[in-house]
Each structure stands twice: as C-alpha cells, then as structure tokens.
Structure 1
Amino acid sequence: MRIIVAGWLRFDGGDVCAQVVRGGAQLIAESRSEQGCIAYNWSVDPLEDGLMHVYEEWESERDLLLHFKHSSYLEMRRHLESFRLSAFDIKLYSVAGTEPVYTETGEPRSTLFGVSLD
C-alpha cells in the first residue's frame, strides 16, 4: 500500500529554513534514490519564517521502514537537530488508490473516486 508522509517543522531563529533545505540537499537526493521512494521533498513556507514543509511518498510500508534504517535518514535527523526545532507535526497516510486531478485537457475532474457534486 502506498504511504504518504506529510507535515511541517518549525524552527526558531528567523528565516533558517532555506539553510536547512540547502544543507539537506544531498540527504534528500540520497533518500530519493532509495528503493520505493516516489517523492521526497522539503520546502520553505513562502509566508512564515521558520516553517518548513515535508512531503514524501513511498511504495510500501516496508520501503518506509527500510528508509528509517538508511544512513540518509539517520544523517537527516542529525542535520535537523543542528537547528533549533521548536515544533513539528508530521503524519503518515495510507493510500488506497490514486487518480489524476485533471482531465487530458487540463480541466479539474468533476468526479473523484466515484464521488461528484451532481
């Protein structure tokens, strides 16, 4: 089953998130190359200093569990802990299925997973 990891981290000390992301670029690249990694991204919030968003997709629970033992994950934790992390909220989501958001013509779909407003 596909797994999504999504959430945010808040750092004290002003606008440090760009430094966090740039300093973690190699770790992000290593994580992206791991078995089962579909997406792995850290992004700076454009409106709030000190707020960073995390988004990951993994093919399976097993792939994510292996990631937690991988050197890139262990080094990522050390990297993040070198900054003043004041709060975080990161959750796991299991995905039963996926569908495209847009039609072939680029319009938002009118039905999602069999549900429509009609």
Structure 2
Amino acid sequence: MAEDSATEIIVAGWMDYEPADRDTMLGHLVEVGKRTREAEPGCLDYAMTADPSDERRIRVYERWVSQQALEEHFTTAHIKDFRAATTGLTRVGVSMEIFSVAAARSMR
C-alpha cells in the first residue's frame, strides 16, 4: 500500500552502542538533530536521548510531515557529514520502527 504524501511519519526506537561510544554518538546526534530541525521544513521533531537506566542505549524519536520528507532527510549534506563522523563507533543493537499516523488528537 502506497503512503499518502500527506501522511505524518513517526520514527521511534532505540540504538545501543558500546558504552565507551554512546556519549560520542549522542554528541553527533545532538548536532545532526539541530541541523535537521533548522534546515528541513519537513521535520516536525527530532530527539535522541540517552537512556538513564542503560549505559549503551540511545532513545530515538522523529516526526516528519511525510515519508518523502524522511527520505529527503537521508540525502542531506548534514546526514552525509554525520555518517562520516560516526563511522568508527560500534553499534551493538538496534530496534527502530516507522509508523504512519492515521490520526492525532491533543491530550489536554
């Protein structure tokens, strides 16, 4: 089934890195998140955080206006720079999923 170009996308999950590499990776993620939010109008939210109960884990949450916006994100110069900067870091696990948002409502 093809995604509607106006369907919001959420990327959520976690990545585990060797404990010695996690904070370095997190620093790179903070920078790429800042650049993504500033330069990509299709990005609604982009947050990577250290899990306080696991020295290896980084929690991932991204929200995009569409699948196309997410796909374009992977072609940006700042993602290419990020990939080059993190080449030597050791990821030991990952669980990431992409969700298509059918509806949303405020929790007020």
1:15 is displaced (CA, Å) by 5.2
What percentage of residue pairs aligned between the two structures are identical?
Answer: 25
1:61 aligns with 2:67: yes
Matched residue SS, 1:82: coil
Q: Which deviations, in whole Å up to 9, do the C-alpha atoms of 1:54-109 show, x marking residues without a partner?
A: 110000111111101111222223334331111111111000111112x3xxxxxx
Distance in 2 of aligned mates of 1:78 and 1:54: 20
Matched-pair contact (CA < 8 Å) for 1:17–1:52: yes
Which residue identity lines up with residue 47 of structure 1 in the other structure?
S
Unmatched segments (≥5 aa) in structure 2: 1-6
1:17 is displaced (CA, Å) by 2.5
Q: Which residue is 2:4 aligned to?
A: none
> What TM-score does the superposition give when structure 1 sets the normalisation length?
0.76
Give the alignment partner of residue 24 of structure 2, picking from 19, 27, 34.
Answer: 19
Instruction: Say how many residue pairs are matched.
Output: 101
Distance in 1 of aligned mates of 2:88 and 2:106: 39
Matched-pair contact (CA < 8 Å) for 1:16–1:49: no
Which residue identity lines up with residue 15 of structure 2 in the other structure?
L
Unmatched segments (≥5 aa) in structure 1: 104-118
> What TM-score does the superposition give when structure 2 sets the normalisation length?
0.83
Matched-pair contact (CA < 8 Å) for 2:28–2:86: no
Greater relative CO, 1 or 2 (CA 8 Å, sep 6+) = 2
More helix by share: 2
